[in-house]
Amino acid sequence: DQQVKQNSPSLSVQEGRISILNCDYTNSMFDYFLWYKKYPAEGPTFLISISSIKDKNEDGRFTVFLNKSAKHLSLHIVPSQPGDSAVYFCAALDTGRRALTFGSGTRLQVQP
């Protein structure tokens, strides 16, 4: 049973436009959410996070939105740049088990 779901395996956007990556979760015990970015042959790197007590967190071009009632979060990248092309993983942490649960990832391609 996938507790963190990224239903779009891939996304393609034009440079300069907004990229929106979505993530849904089922476990109401999750209290912290993170996005990771992964380039080929490298480990994932931390991008941005949000606590369940917030509904938005912004860091430069990256903003994460959390809708707890819908159990949904999204990552907005604006403006998108070719260097943003990577696989993005959504991850969640619950209060009891201190290891992240990851989604299956979304491959973002930003076209120049």
Partner 1 sequence: GAGVSQSPSNKVTEKGKDVELRCDPISGHTALYWYRQSLGQGLEFLIYFQGNSAPDKSGLPSDRFSAERTGGSVSTLTIQRTQQEDSAVYLCASSLSGSGGYGYTFGSGTRLTVV
In the complex, minimum distance from the CB of residue 4 to partner 1, in angstroms, rounded to a whole number: 8
Angle at 61 between CA 55 and CA 65, to 5 degrees: 15
The reply to whether 110 sits near partner 1 by the rule CB under 8 A is no
For the segment 19-38, give every residue that binds partner 1 (CB under 8 A).
Answer: 32, 34, 36
Q: How many residues bind partner 1 (CB under 8 A)?
A: 24
Dig out the tokens for 7 from the structure.
Answer: 């239903």
Q: In whole angstroms, what is the distance from residue 54 CA to residue 33 CA?
A: 11
82 DSSP assignment: G
For the segment 38-77, give every residue that binds partner 1 (CB under 8 A).
Answer: 41-46, 49
**Which one of the spans 10-18, 59-67, 70-78, 102-110 is the region binding partner 1 (CB under 8 A)?**
102-110
Q: How far is CA 83 from CA 2, 11, 20, 65, 105, in A?
A: 29, 14, 16, 22, 17
Q: List interacting residues with partner 1 (CB under 8 A).
A: 4, 6, 32, 34, 36, 41-46, 49, 89, 91, 93, 97-105
